[in-house]
Amino acid sequence: METANKTKTMLVTGGSRGIGAEIARLAVRSGYRVVINYANSAEAAHALVDELNITRIVTHAIRCDISEEASVVDMFAETNAVFGPVDVLVNNAGVTGGFAKVCDVTAQTLSDVMSTNVIGAFLCSREAVCQMSKRTGGAGGAIVNVSSRASQYGGAGEWVHYAASKGAMDTLTLGLAREVASEGIRVNAVAPGFVDTDLHANAGDADRATRLAAQTPMGRPGTSLEIANTVLWLADDAASYVTGAIVAAAGGR
């Protein structure tokens, strides 16, 4: 989908690859200025910036570990300096922690997953609200969280730890939506099912999405573009009366 928006700024965490990169591409085509956050994938992030800045400067990459509070504060300050206040935050950055049953999961894995997927989303949402809130002079805005259908199915036998982190993100979505609705901020989430990205390969099972998606009603995995389209709709004024929603983009699963 494309919108007439020509002025708003979107910050996409974990925006250098996969779903995040597709969100950035679609956002630029839809008229946004986009800040692409990355933690480790500097080469991919800057390649994406070069790809999208061919005719004019519409993207900017910022390295930030979103689990680190000071770094998040600095990222939002840099975004404001480059493009102005954030109008749309997409909390897309996430890690799975790999495959493990609960009896085998380590404290370090739990810390890593929760630090990025939960604490990072909270910190970024906090800074976004501070810039967006009409109560403090902002123009309002939208936050879109990239959750997972795993939050509803539990991830048994594979990654209950990851599913639990996405369950926390769903709760953040519902609670924050109610907290800031009167301040001109909408908060929603997209819950992808099996999507053909490198997330599965990074967790150790490259064919997982295709294999398991064959069992879904639509019989195939989703694409990054299909998730990006859902994110852009929730970010857009076309969804102006939608807040506190968790939209399943999962082929019927």
**In this prediction, what percent of the chain has a pLDDT beyond 90?**
85
CA atoms of 186 and 242, how far apart (whole Å): 7
For the segment 95-104, the average pLDDT, to the nearest whole number, is: 95
Report the pLDDT value the prediction gives residue 1, as an integer from 0 to 100. 39
If you compute the radius of gyration of the chain from its CA atoms, what whole number of angstroms results? 17
First to last CA, the chain: 23
Residue type, position 66, single letter: I
CA atoms of 190 and 57, how far apart (whole Å): 28
For the segment 143-154, the average pLDDT, to the nearest whole number, is: 96
What's the half-sphere exposure (Cβ side, CA atoms, 13 Å) at 20? 30
pLDDT at residue 54 tops 80: yes
Report the pLDDT value the prediction gives residue 203, as an integer from 0 to 100. 58
CA atoms of 196 and 210, how far apart (whole Å): 7
Torsion sign (Cα): 211, 212, 213, 217: positive
- Beta-ladder partners of 249: 192
Q: Are strands 141-146 and 33-38 parallel, antiparallel or unpaired?
A: unpaired
pLDDT at residue 130 tops 60: yes
Which active-site residues does the annotation give? Answer: 162
pLDDT at residue 3 tops 50: no
Q: Over the chain, what is the mean pLDDT?
A: 93
Tell me if 222 sits within 8 A of 49, measured CB to CB. Answer: no
SS3 113: helix
Q: Tens of pLDDT along 160-202?
A: 999 999 999 999 999 999 999 999 999 999 999 989 876 655 6
CATH number for region 9-249:
3.40.50.720
pLDDT at residue 87 tops 50: yes
For the segment 5-24, the average pLDDT, to the nearest whole number, is: 91
Q: Tens of pLDDT along 196-235?
A: 876 655 655 667 767 777 888 999 888 999 999 999 999 9
CA atoms of 248 and 253, how far apart (whole Å): 8
Residue type, position 103, single letter: C
**In this prediction, what percent of the chain has a pLDDT beyond 70?**
93
Report the pLDDT value the prediction gives residue 214, as an integer from 0 to 100. 80
